[in-house]
Amino acid sequence: MEFIQVLKDKTIKGKEKTELISQQILSETIGIDELFSQFGNLKDPEIATCIEALEYATKINPAIATENSLNHLIETLLHKAPRIKWESAKVIGNIIHKYPEKIDIAVNNLLKNTEDSGTVVRWSAAFALGQILLLKTKHNHDLIPKINAIIEREEKNSIKKIYQTALKKNQK
């Protein structure tokens, strides 16, 4: 079944849609660029389901992600729909190590999401920024003070803990 058919099938529950599309991505039945090319024809919840499927797939095999897909994800960090923002951040956290030259722009958009009113958007931004911090690149020089400032203003301890854990691991 094509991924568009999976998305449109009302008999398939949300989590199952995500799993089916993730399997199609991992088996390369659908290409990631093909997935992104269809976003203009999809509604926000369907786009979010596709990105969530990509998150599952890249957790298992980050190598399947392309630079083009990372570019799309960096853009979707600024989408109006919170679920699209948080799913994009999780995928970026899984794959950014493959494209260190894209860290600057990813960090800029992730930092915008650290000020989002949605807890899950901020949590996902923290995850991705923590993954970037663990890469120990030259970007850490500017990123560490920004993360410390985020910790100071962040109200949720669960989000603070993500940053604190990444900072501790970075010092090792």
| pLDDT exceeds 90 at position 172 | no
- Total structural domains in the chain? 1
- How many C-alpha atoms does 142 have within 13 Å on its Cβ side? 7
pTM of structure: 0.94
CB 143 within 8 A of CB 108: no
Q: Which residue has the tokens 């899984």?
A: 94
Neighbouring C-beta atoms of residue 73, cutoff 10 Å: 29
What confidence score (pLDDT) does residue 2 get? 87
Q: Which range marks the domain in which residue 51 is found?
A: 3-171
Q: The domain that contains 141 carries what CATH number?
A: 1.25.10.10
pLDDT tens figures, 126-157: 999 999 999 999 999 999 999 999 999 999 99
CB 123 within 8 A of CB 86: yes
Q: What is the mean pLDDT of residues 7-11?
A: 91
- How many C-alpha atoms does 101 have within 13 Å on its Cβ side? 3
Q: Which amino acid is at 106?
A: A
- Could you give the percent of the chain with pLDDT greater than 90? 93
